[in-house]
Amino acid sequence: MSTTNTSGRRKTAVARIYLTAGSGNIIINGKDYKEYFPTLPLQYIATQSLNVAGELANFDVKVNVNGGGVKGQAEAVRLAIAKALIELNPEVKPALRAKGLVTRDDRMVERKKPGRRKARRRFQFSKR
């Protein structure tokens, strides 16, 4: 089997993955995923697509991820893995879709506007 590569994005995080047949190793930026994502919720998010498809022990995943924070990176990895699994086996798409793992979450940070402190927060108003 050849290598399947896809990308996933969330906020400003971008994950590029390379999925090959293997024994379930997940390497993120040269580290094991349990070392890269030290908390259990982040590890669960990163492997959720493989768990739903039941393919956790069948594939090796090599990930390059950059940008954003750790949660955005974990969700970007999740989307990229889901897209790769669908590319290899379209029959897993309904199960992944039911869990909401196929849809790209397009919510981004609103930009700061001129004359404001943040995107919507105004400077303090003094009447006198």
Q: Taking residues 56-70, report their average pLDDT.
A: 94
| Residue 86 lies in domain | 4-99
Query: How confident is the model at residue 76, as a pLDDT?
Result: 97
pLDDT score, position 2: 86
| The pLDDT of residue 1 is above 80 | no
Q: What is the mean pLDDT of residues 25-37?
A: 95
Return the percentage of the chain with pLDDT > 70, whole number: 99
20-24: list long-range contacts, CB under 8 Å, 24+ apart: 20/59, 20/60, 20/62, 21/58, 21/59, 21/60, 22/58, 22/59, 22/60, 23/57, 23/60, 24/56, 24/57, 24/58, 24/59, 24/60
* Residue 111 domain-assigned (yes or no): no
- Across all residues in the chain, what is the average pLDDT? 94
The structural domain count of the chain equals 1
The CATH code of the domain that includes 45 is 3.30.230.10
Residue 21 lies in a domain: yes
Q: Is the pLDDT of residue 90 over 90?
A: yes
> Residue 44: what pLDDT?
96
**Residue 106 forms part of a structural domain:** no
